[in-house]
Amino acid sequence: MASQPTRRRAAGWLIVAFALGITATASAKPEAVAFRIGNNAWTVPGSFDYQALALRFRLPWQGSYSRWDITTHLDVGAGAIESDGRHVGLFSIGPSVSFGRGEWRIELGTAPSVFTRNRLSGRNFGGWFQFTSHVGLYWQIDRRWRIGYRLQHTSNGRLYSENDGLDLQTVDLWVGF
């Protein structure tokens, strides 16, 4: 098993790699912005409220398989989690893939993430570097508007000795450009 400094160094290089990915897509126009609001999922005791914005860039890998449209994206997100009057920021950047049939879409994604503090309301996140994974179900109202439900899990993947993690559920409203 890798030592703590080795894992942290690997996490740092992962952030650098994703930052370079942003640079590569900097010439691409954003395709949508999401407004996200939610709270802790049923797996997490206590009360955690979440608000976030996400900016989406289309990646070049698109296609279809067995009547499913498949699209890939790079999502950049910034949000705040509040509990007991205290806040922590959550920033992320990472890929997602969506599978659509008609006006319905299923989306999966993962992203390296950064917390602005290690603790919130008795939960110890272990450190600033985290991973956020999500799954969502969305209804495409028309060409520009989409609404959906998203479950996300954020934890440090055992990079640190403490790893409480946090599960959130959100309602998302996407507006296309």
Residues listed for the chain: 177
What does the pLDDT read at residue 12?
64
Cβ atoms of residues 62 and 32 within 8 Å = no
DSSP codes of every residue in the chain: ---HHHHHHHHHHHHHHHHHHHHHHTTSPEEEEEEEEEEE-TTS-S--EEEEEEEEEEEEEEEEETTEEEEEEEEEEEEEEEETTEEEEEEEEEEEEEEEETTEEEEEEEEEEEESSSEETTEE--SSEEEEEEEEEEEE-SSSEEEEEEEEEEE-TTSSS----EEEEEEEEEEE-
What does the pLDDT read at residue 125?
93
The residue with greater pLDDT, 164 or 29, is 164
- Which residue segments constitute the domains of the chain, with CATH numbers given? 4-176 (2.40.160.20)
Share of the chain above pLDDT 70, in %: 84
Read off the pLDDT of residues 94-115 as tens digits, 9 standing for 90 and up: 999 999 999 999 999 999 999 9
What does the pLDDT read at residue 29?
77
What does the pLDDT read at residue 45?
73
pTM for the model stands at: 0.82
Distance in angstroms (rounded) separating the CA atoms of residues 7 and 156: 11
Read off the pLDDT of residues 23-75 as tens digits, 9 standing for 90 and up: 555 557 799 999 999 999 877 777 899 999 999 999 988 999 999 999 999 99
